[in-house]
Amino acid sequence: MPIVFAGVVPHPPILIPEIGKDNLKKISKTQKAMKKMEQELYSAKPESLVIISPHGNILPDTFTINLSVDYSVNFKDFGDFGVELKFKSDSSSIQKIRASDETQILAPITLVSENELDHGFGVPLYYLAQHLKNISIIPITYSALDVKQHFEFGRFLYRQLSKLNKRFAIIASGDLSHRLTEDAPAGYSKQGTVFDKKIVDIIKKNNPEGLLKLDDKLAEEAGECGLRSIAVLAGTIEPMNLQPEVLSYEGPFGVGYLVANWRVS
């Protein structure tokens, strides 16, 4: 079985201890859930980690895969100069994924080569790869295409990963609504809570295609950044017999933080 683990995680830099400091107490549920997920991911023994992030250079009509020789992660932009992580690229898998659709119709992909990964990749890697010292990674940035096309891209990924003799984990990095409270980063909207409840409910009910029925205007009003990452993940795991588990959800700073995983049976 090529996919041995799947999960959704948030990526607030405040989760990094030297950045969050005392504020970590306010998101203790999220931190605890991330640590639990790390243990379960380690137990799954993945050889390669696919991460879908909403940050970086988002292109209008193509997905971006970062094919660098290796990658580095730091949080200097957020005031932490003590952390620097290094990861190697799963370059052979990236090249096979890219070569599998030369027409660029089913899965439009642009390859870039950038050594430094932003916090959309960095925060999940900080927590989830602590004991996966030799893990190789496939960093994917989603596009501005619609949710259905991200779901279809996930299906494409499943087909390609299934052809490779390797154990893959797939992680959707993304925060939910940024508009949960009056002091939220994007301002308040009552639709923020509505959106987050719908996403959590879709995951709990193991209804990946429910993402395709979400109102575009609701997602836009919620000010989210995780929907497309989750849609790619949902498309990837749709053919598999997986059981979802929501490990935590909270939003004390006006942004919804969801941690969830799917058990591979």
Helices 147-162 and 91-99 pack at an angle, to 10 degrees, of: 110
Does the pLDDT at position 52 exceed 90? yes
- What pLDDT shows up at residue 103? 67
Distance separating alpha carbons of residues 174 and 149, to the nearest angstrom: 18
Work out how many domains the chain is built from and give that number: 1
pLDDT at res. 176: 98
Mean pLDDT, the chain, rounded, equals 94
pLDDT tens-digit profile of 60-72? 999 999 999 999 9
What is the reported pLDDT for 208?
86
Q: How many CB atoms lie within 10 A of CB 72?
A: 14
61: its two tokens: 């009509």
What DSSP string describes 102-122? TTSSSS-EEEE--SEE-HHHH
CA atoms of 129 and 83, how far apart (whole Å): 14
Asked whether the predicted pLDDT for residue 263 surpasses 80, the reply is no
Give the model's pLDDT for residue 57.
Answer: 83
Task: Select from 88, 126, 117, 155 the least CA-distant residue to 9.
Answer: 126
pLDDT digits (tens, 9 = 90+) for 102-158: 666 778 999 999 999 999 999 999 999 999 989 999 999 999 999 999 999 999 999
End-to-end CA distance of the chain: give it in Å, rounded: 10
- Percentages of the chain per state (helix, strand, coil), in multiples of 5: 40, 25, 35
Residue 76 sits at φ, ψ, to 5 deg, of -60, -35
Average pLDDT for 19-27: 95
Helix residue spans in 75-118 (DSSP H) = 91-99
Enclosing domain of residue 142 = 3-264
The predicted-structure confidence for 202-254, as pLDDT tens digits, reads as follows: 999 999 889 999 999 999 999 999 999 999 999 999 988 788 999 999 999 99
Any idea what the CATH number is for the domain that residue 252 is in? 3.40.830.10
